[in-house]
Amino acid sequence: MIELPVVAATSENETRIRKPDWLRVKLPIGENYKHVRGLVDDHKLHTICESGNCPNMGECWGAGTATFMILGNTCTRSCGFCAVATGRPEPVDWDEPQRVAEAIHLMKVKHAVITSVDRDELPDGGSIIWHNTIKAVKSLNPDTTLETLIPDFKGKKEDIQRVINAAPEVVSHNIETVERLTRQVRIQAKYWRSMEVIRTLKEGGMRTKSGIMLGLGEQKEEVIQTLKDLQAYGCDVVTIGQYLQPTKKHLPVHRFVHPDEFAEYREIGYQLGLDYVESGPLVRSSYHSEKHVFAGLGRQQWLRQNEQ
């Protein structure tokens, strides 16, 4: 197995933190990887795998899966953690939904993930393209389950409702960090607005999901409180992973969280009643997302283990 150590850049004035041995990922190799690479290029698609510098890209693409990013690859927000480019986006591409649906059809995947940049300049926040993409994917791929990782749409319920109406199996919206650090990490986003997005999705009958990054300076009790808040607002699935600094311009890594601490947060999440908790250094929002479709699967496994 070829392995590549994960590199988290630091600012010039900061003491470089030694990267632990557990942060290693496979190089992107193999025929499946080349196949997915070709589909992405041929259909002129964007993926968060590339734009977000995801450490699991080799594993996921090697397995024939990818997380497609719609509405272009330029975001109107400038979050301190995110590798996606910020600026003035290109005009909406109304043919994109069909291209995404066709790519998923050619990949023959049983589960697909779609996300997007924030498009705050659009009156609908991009929700119409979201609706059209979900419908196109489900029409061409009726046996494929679908997770959608959506922006907050500035909290506008009519835009969130368009996603609900299209009926994906899972709708995810990432809280990203604890309340205290939200202004620093997410800048234009709001902690409680994101919680309200999750509540709106749950009240609309959706299976709900969110994600948290660790290593940004949060305290243990703050992470636990965030898990409590997510559970109270109707979140079913939570992913917890290590923040890795994309470039020197982004927020520095405050610390590398040990795998044992991630395991502890998984235990706490299940004790709080969350349905599925995916927690580990290399976990990202769409990592193993095919497991998150099924209600109760994670907690049932946890209960069985604790009965033994």
Q: Which tens digits make up the pLDDT trace of 189-232?
A: 999 999 999 999 999 999 999 999 999 999 999 999 999 999 99
What confidence score (pLDDT) does residue 168 get? 97
pLDDT at residue number 160? 98
Q: Residue 60: count other Cβ atoms within 10 Å of its Cβ.
A: 24
The CATH fold of domain 3-307: TIM Barrel (3.20.20)
9-23, 135-149, 151-165, 167-181: least confidently modelled range: 9-23
pLDDT at position 110, please? 82
Closest Cα partner for 58 from 28, 33, 81? 28
269-284 confidence digits (pLDDT tens): 999 999 999 999 989 8
- pLDDT at residue 17, as a whole number: 67
Average pLDDT over residues 248-268: 95
Give the pTM. 0.83
Residue 21 identity = D
Burial status of residue 77 (CB atoms within 10 A of its CB: 0-12, 13-18, 19 or more): middle
User: What is the residue whose two structure tokens read 């990887």?
Assistant: 33
Confidence of residue 112 (pLDDT cuts 50, 70, 90): confident
pLDDT score, position 149: 95
